[in-house]
């Protein structure tokens, strides 16, 4: 049986619209959703509650990592998965390189979207974060600024953007009222957004969803808005390459907000205008920061050559072996790493059977080990052509 995901379960927070990532990013991050369904991942894994319960729910237990991390995790859980699949009489998934790439992008994307906020948590935060000292919601309060109009924004990025844009006034008001403005962590922007949407009295059919952001535009904005000046050109703030923003869009918004005050002070000192954002600009910048910080996996051909022996690959992949395994220089050619991952994954079952018959187990493969093996095998294959 093939389970199905609905758009609503995945994109509770973000509706994709026609926006597409350019450059290194997938044209259609949704493509991987089909692989996820077709190959039966959904029989064991759910996304935000829809799907199986044997493995972790990728909406809650968000997968952090790049495609090397993914193949490593999938490889290590292959034997256990196979057992469950034999018991439930389902077919072991097989991939093409393209499938694997789509799947990786899809899971990578879920992490970016983050979790949906909780209105009840948001209600508590509205008070504990002191928003209620200066703002009203629902019932108007004299002297307080109503936030009801924020209801139309489904995505927390817009709340973050509005706060960012008003950061200077907010901090000024904070000083006048001797209130220290809050900082944000975790999913707090999403919780506040959920609460605002629930408590607002605004009647409006209009709803503004986020789009994922365009990192290429974001890179341009990073220069134009002066971020580049402090984070690359002059050593005023931490260097962009050292940002650790391997986080959901909501968390990155929090990190940005948290530094808006210090930044405003520094901008004044530098006699530069405080940068504000319109439309989807903050989402663009955030998606750029997200992809700039995507995890890097190290690895080398030399390590690959050693691992090929140590992990037992060489026992089978050598001239005159009894298993009909191709020699190492005949293993490729592979178009790219995803192509290699697919070939590796597709042969895990056969390899495991052969190893089990010798009383051995499938070796574990760490992300840097997969990368090294790929570099080694790819190098050997290309050299022999
Ligand atoms: C038969 C059940 C089953 C199927 C089918 C299945 N998985 Fe899993 N998966 C699990 C279980 C159980 C775990 C928990 C880890 C473990 O115990 O090995 C897991 C863990 C994972 C993890 C590691 C999560 C983490 O962050 O630690 C990834 C990634 C993953 N699966 C991806 C997939 C993908 C992609 C598919 C479809 C191609 C898939 N799985 C199909 C059962 C399954
Ligand atoms: C010390 C007072 C103060 C506190 C505390 C405060 N704000 Fe503000 N906020 C302001 C001021 C002043 C403005 C600017 C209003 C204007 O320019 O019209 C503002 C503007 C905003 C705006 C933009 C409103 C719009 O219509 O564009 C949002 C959104 C907002 N605040 C959210 C929050 C949230 C959420 C919190 C709690 C985490 C919070 N504020 C805490 C004073 C405060
Ligand atoms: C006037 C200088 C200045 C400008 C302009 C500036 N920043 Fe910063 N930024 C800093 C400083 C200083 C810090 C570190 C201080 C802190 O932790 O609050 C920082 C920290 C950060 C961090 C946290 C990094 C981390 O990993 O902890 C992010 C993200 C960030 N800035 C993004 C931006 C973006 C995006 C822009 C443009 C909209 C921008 N900055 C513009 C000075 C600046
Ligand atoms: C027990 C024997 C055995 C071991 C150990 C083994 N393989 Fe294989 N491998 C095979 C056989 C047999 C094939 C031929 C295709 C098939 O039967 O799945 C193969 C095929 C492959 C392919 C696919 C080639 C293609 O063009 O589709 C790759 C890649 C590969 N092996 C990599 C590895 C790596 C990396 C290791 C070590 C982690 C390894 N193998 C360990 C037996 C083995």
CATH number of the CATH domain containing 84 = 1.10.760
- In ligand 2, which atom is closest to the CA atom of 130? 5
Q: Is 287 inside a domain boundary? A: yes
Q: Is 207 inside a domain boundary? A: no
For the stretch 84-124, pLDDT in tens is 877 877 778 889 999 998 888 788 777 776 777 899 999 99
Q: Is 124 inside a domain boundary? A: yes
For the stretch 152-170, pLDDT in tens is 887 788 888 999 999 989 9
Is the pTM above the cut of 0.85?
no
Please name the residue that has the structure tokens 């089978």: 316
Q: Is 2 inside a domain boundary? A: no
The alpha carbon of 16 and the centre of ligand 3 are apart by a number of angstroms equal to 28
226 lines ligand 3 (CB under 6 A): yes
Contact 341, 35 (CB under 8 A): no
Give the Cβ contact number of residue 164 at 10 Å: 21
**Is the domain of 188 the same as that of 102?**
no
Residue at a domain's end among 50, 83, 113: 113
Q: Is 263 inside a domain boundary? A: yes
Q: Over 60: is that where the pLDDT of 209 sits?
A: yes
Domain that residue 220 falls in: 215-292
Q: Is 173 inside a domain boundary? A: yes
**Is the domain of 257 the same as that of 273?**
yes
For the stretch 268-283, pLDDT in tens is 888 888 899 988 899 8
Q: Over 90: is that where the pLDDT of 63 sits?
A: no
Residue at a domain's end among 199, 227, 247: 199
**Coil, strand, or helix at residue 172?**
helix
Count of domains observed in the chain: 4
Q: Is 333 inside a domain boundary? A: yes
Secondary structure letter of residue 300 according to DSSP = -
Nearest alpha carbon, ligand 1 atom 19: 55
């Amino acid at each position: 049986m093939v389970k199905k995901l609905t758009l609503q379960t995945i994109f509770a927070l973000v509706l994709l619209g026609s926006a597409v990532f350019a450059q290194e990013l997938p044209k259609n991050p949704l493509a991987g959703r089909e692989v996820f369904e077709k190959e039966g991942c959904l029989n064991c894994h759910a996304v935000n509650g829809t799907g199986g319960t044997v493995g972790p729910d990728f909406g809650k237990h968000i997968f952090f990592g790049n495609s090397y991390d993914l193949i490593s995790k999938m490889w290590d859980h292959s034997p256990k998965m196979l057992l469950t699949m034999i018991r439930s009489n389902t077919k072991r998934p097989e991939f093409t390189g393209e499938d694997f790439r789509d799947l990786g992008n899809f899971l990578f994307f879920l992490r970016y979207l983050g979790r949906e906020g909780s209105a009840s948590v948001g209600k508590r935060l509205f008070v504990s974060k002191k928003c209620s000292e200066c703002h009203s919601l629902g019932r108007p309060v004299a002297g307080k600024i109503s936030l009801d109009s924020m209801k139309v924004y489904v995505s927390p990025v817009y709340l973050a953007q509005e706060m960012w844009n008003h950061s200077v006034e907010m901090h000024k008001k904070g000083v006048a009222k001797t209130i220290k403005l809050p900082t944000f962590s975790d999913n707090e922007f999403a919780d506040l957004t959920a609460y605002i949407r629930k408590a607002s009295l605004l009647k409006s059919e209009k709803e503004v969803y986020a789009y994922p952001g365009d990192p290429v535009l974001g890179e341009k904005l990073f220069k134009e808005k002066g971020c580049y000046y402090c984070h690359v050109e002059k050593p005023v703030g931490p260097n962009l390459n050292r940002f650790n923003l391997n986080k959901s869009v909501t968390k990155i918004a929090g990190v940005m907000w948290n530094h808006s005050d210090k930044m405003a002070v520094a901008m004044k000192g530098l006699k530069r205008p405080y940068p504000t954002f319109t439309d989807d600009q903050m989402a663009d910048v955030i998606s750029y920061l997200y992809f700039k910080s995507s995890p890097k996996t190290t690895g080398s051909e030399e390590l690959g050559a050693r691992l090929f022996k140590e992990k037992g690959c060489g026992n089978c992949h050598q001239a005159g072996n009894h298993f009909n395994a191709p020699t190492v220089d005949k293993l490729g050619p592979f178009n790219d790493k995803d192509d290699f991952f697919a070939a590796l994954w597709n042969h895990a079952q056969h390899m495991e059977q052969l190893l089990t018959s010798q009383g051995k187990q499938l070796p574990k493969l760490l992300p840097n080990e997969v990368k090294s093996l790929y570099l080694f095998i790819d190098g050997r294959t290309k050299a022999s052509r």
